[in-house]
Chain A
């Protein structure tokens, strides 16, 4: 009896702590949602309110129509799709090479991949900028995409190689006896078996591309070419900040990622554990 009582007390205390943290986590988001539905004169209302008295869709309409947010959204979709597809394709080829063959430079190439993983991305921004100018890639989406591909490959190769090494070899050996080429084995055996790991790297590289700010901000000056993070930051920078529009835009930008996270949580968690990577 005493034991059950103690258990209940503990559980109540646990839930109180967890609810406290849940409130701290959720409050900024809820306030952002509330603010995005507020009219301009209510943004700094006193006392601050989470639920607006007179909710309006004005901020969403302004963001989407007069501030070219539709364009930013489309640019981000293009950048994310192109870089993610390329990263998944190129990294899976590399991981297959690393996990299934013995060759002279293997140790060296593998080691260099590990070093690239550790490189802080922003430290290469100056030479990358010079390179992009030489190739006339400033103010172009391909310029953004190419660097995202290079930034994401090392980690994805690392994760995929680890996964592919654990795959059973029987199917491949059978296929080899039947005369299948390495390319056929990659396409018909390895790729289908690697689906869970491919989903994980696809999620992480799209998240990276969708949220990346520094490189895109550095090479995109033309407002027509902006991606979502650059566009949102620019809403903030323009004259007096119209916070309602900033948060309406932010809300539109983060919704796809949050839905992706909620429905694909399994793959997120796997990715974090495998590479201990940061979202």
Chain B
């Protein structure tokens, strides 16, 4: 399993236990797995929302997500890397994104996992629309996400 990437963009949900097992499979040299799961919240700017609609640019998403994982590999020695992002309509509390990274020792997996999420937020061509009783609203990019992404450079 060493140095294997699993990158998926899908409307279907994912199973954390299944992804975790895949990262463990045939991977006895790695002693650490760090996973991150992002969920849809029921609030946006302190107001309730009914859910999200996620749009993306398929040809570019595949390319960018692959590049982000490869950049993480140049910075840290990591084994398996899984990145799953959902698209389409999602309701509050649903899973939206998963990042799982393995490494021999924990530090590389922690850092690479955070790097992949921070870069995904500012580089990958996904767009979120918040759905609510007040009308649908495209999400504005956050300055704080850009700062987090920039700090790795």
Q: Do A and B bind each other?
A: no
Which A residues have a C-beta under 8 Å from some C-beta of B?
none
Which B residues have a C-beta under 8 Å from some C-beta of A?
none
